Amino acid sequence: MSGDPIASLVIEDLTSPEHGQKVVTLHEGNVLHFGRDAETSNYILPDFHVSRNHFEIYSFVADEGAEPIVVVRDCESVNGTYVSKKWLGYDMKVVDTVILDDGDIISVNDCWSISVTLLAVKRDNMTILQQRDVKHFAEKYVITNKILGMGVSTCVRLAYDISSHEQLACKMYNIGDMRRLDCQNEVDQLIRSLDLLHELDHPNVASLRQVYKNEDVVYVFEELATGGDLFSMFMKPRLLEELEVCFIMFQVVRALKYIHSKGIAHRDIKVENVLCMVCPKVGQRVALTDFGHARRVSQGSITSRAGTPGWQAPEQYSGTHEHGIAVDMWAVGIMAVRLLVGNREVPTLEEFESNLSVANPSPDLCLDNLFDEIRQIRQTDIYSAVKDFISRCLDFNPAARMTAGEALSHPWLSEPKDVRELFEFRQARAEKNWRPRAAQDGWLEELPPNVGLEVQTSPYFHNKEENPIIQAEASSSDKQGSKGSGQENTKSSKSSHNSGELPTNETIQNFGCGGELDTMS
């Protein structure tokens, strides 16, 4: 079902102007495919310069109340795709996915052009203080007025790396307002999390590029995710295939094995904190984000409470709250269940979560009931390897719980051999545009203090209790959250996980097919 109209696209054949123009409307959640193949393309561009599957345009909403994001992705075309005369292509040195802006023109070899008009533009100018700040790094980065997301004291804007022309996300934290609201602990937590994140460099961890700060604002430049987060995929009516869930978990566990080897516990693993780095498609790269609750565990156990209810391990509810990296693996088990059932309710899990408390840190969790409910939702049984994986993650004893390294070699993620080879192939392909971050000592730079200017804040930088904009958005979000999930999946989900077939080209191309999110190449 199509959502709200997001953009108007005017398609023009530049070689035959007499053919006129065709106007197409892009709706929220839809994917439009362009190429010369009539079977796979929504819109056929009959020209030998155009590949069979040349490029696609899709949209998503990164944050409730923010401007919808419209993205174009080159599908490994031979001649590449141009956006406002800048080339996208399948090469290690260039990106193949960009966020579009109002007025952009997509073109293919001067024979076809598509003019983009955004229909839901929401922009917000920076304050005088912020405009002064950005001048100090204007030779390296440009921050636009395009809002990607917002919070009580946070605003995420689209930014550019001037030297590479790469699009980035700039998270702007108004720590001045946070301090005035007596939230110094949150400021300290932010700086601590950035200190941890700058040490990490892995394809499945959202990359930190640079941080600038003064007493008022922290500017955090990060790798941009052009596919939204896993929560958006999780909320779709179509249930993911077991093989699709398996590949997502394969990447998440890879990331955890890496950060755990660094002596760091994430402590807030959930679908909202897994980003789809390229596009909202299962076969693409995902990355962990939001290290706000992360802590070092190399010096012993952690006792501070952290994480999100429903994802926290039982030991976090004990009298001492003492825990370690094993809490991440509990959350991995919960994520596996949630991805298998989508947005459907799981009574056994819901009851367990509601009974989990400091007074009762280990309520009963009947795994047999849990697996039976998963079977009823999916209308097919799940393999024994899946059950064993979840059981070993949801072990009440942290010491007996499966580690990330053990999970990565677990039969569900590593057997049979052809599936492991397929995953490794897809992983390598998904990482084609990822590059290690250059070594940098000055990842955090202090900006000059803002003296002589009255503090001025954006509408997005206000106390939530006093801000009518945020209150209205929260009210709208609550209303939408109470709506039903839509049509249930009534098809039997038959996994090809145990097929024993080698990952042929056809298997690789079809991996993840079966729904609107997975029509992308």
Structure confidence by residue, pLDDT tens digits, 484-509: 333 333 333 333 344 333 344 344 34
273 and 373 in a single domain? The answer is yes
Last residue within a domain, chosen from 409, 430, 451 = 430
pLDDT on residue 472: 39
Residue 450 lies in a domain: no
404 and 275 in a single domain? The answer is yes
- The CATH number that applies at residue 384 is 1.10.510.10
- φ/ψ bin of 292: left (φ > 0), alpha (ψ from -120 to 50), beta (otherwise): alpha
Does 181 have pLDDT greater than 80?
yes
Tokens of 200: 């990490």
Structure confidence by residue, pLDDT tens digits, 189-218: 999 999 999 999 999 999 999 999 999 999
Residue 488 lies in a domain: no
244 and 328 in a single domain? The answer is yes
Residue 499 lies in a domain: no
CA distance 399 to 326: 8
Last residue within a domain, chosen from 193, 209, 224 = 224
Place of tokens 């001067």: 110
Arithmetic mean of pLDDT over the chain: 83
Whole-structure pTM value: 0.83
Residue 479 lies in a domain: no
Cβ-count burial of 197 within 10 angstroms (0-12 exposed, 13-18 middle, 19+ buried)? buried
pLDDT on residue 223: 94
Residue 465 lies in a domain: no
Counted residue by residue, the chain has a size of 521
Residue 41 lies in a domain: yes
pLDDT on residue 432: 79
Lowest mean pLDDT among 163-167, 199-203, 434-438: 434-438
26 and 53 in a single domain? The answer is yes
258 and 155 in a single domain? The answer is no
Give the total number of structural domains in the chain.
Answer: 3
Instruction: Give the confidence band of 470 by pLDDT, cuts at 50, 70, 90.
Output: very low
Report residue 83: phi and psi, to 5°.
Answer: -120, 110
Does 360 have pLDDT greater than 60?
yes
Does 372 have pLDDT greater than 80?
yes
Tokens of 227: 């596919």
Q: Shortest CA distance to 278 belongs to which of 125, 73, 79?
A: 73
210 and 290 in a single domain? The answer is no
Last residue within a domain, chosen from 62, 89, 118 = 118
To the nearest 10°, report the CA torsion of 502, 506, 507, 511. Answer: 160
pLDDT on residue 503: 41
- The CATH number that applies at residue 197 is 3.30.200.20
Query: Which has more confidence, 439 or 36?
Result: 36
Does 476 have pLDDT greater than 80?
no
Sign of the CA dihedral running 108, 114, 119, 123 = positive
286 and 417 in a single domain? The answer is yes
Q: Which helix (H) or strand (E) holds 160?
A: strand 154-161
Query: Which has more confidence, 25 or 302?
Result: 25
67 and 136 in a single domain? The answer is no
90 and 60 in a single domain? The answer is yes
274 and 419 in a single domain? The answer is yes
Residue 461 lies in a domain: no
Residue 54 lies in a domain: yes
235 and 209 in a single domain? The answer is no
Q: Which domain holds residue 64?
A: 5-118
266 and 398 in a single domain? The answer is yes
Whether residue 150 contacts residue 158, with contact meaning beta carbons closer than 8 Å, is answered with no
The DSSP line for 136-171 is: GGTTTEEEEEEEEEE-SSEEEEEEEETTT--EEEEE
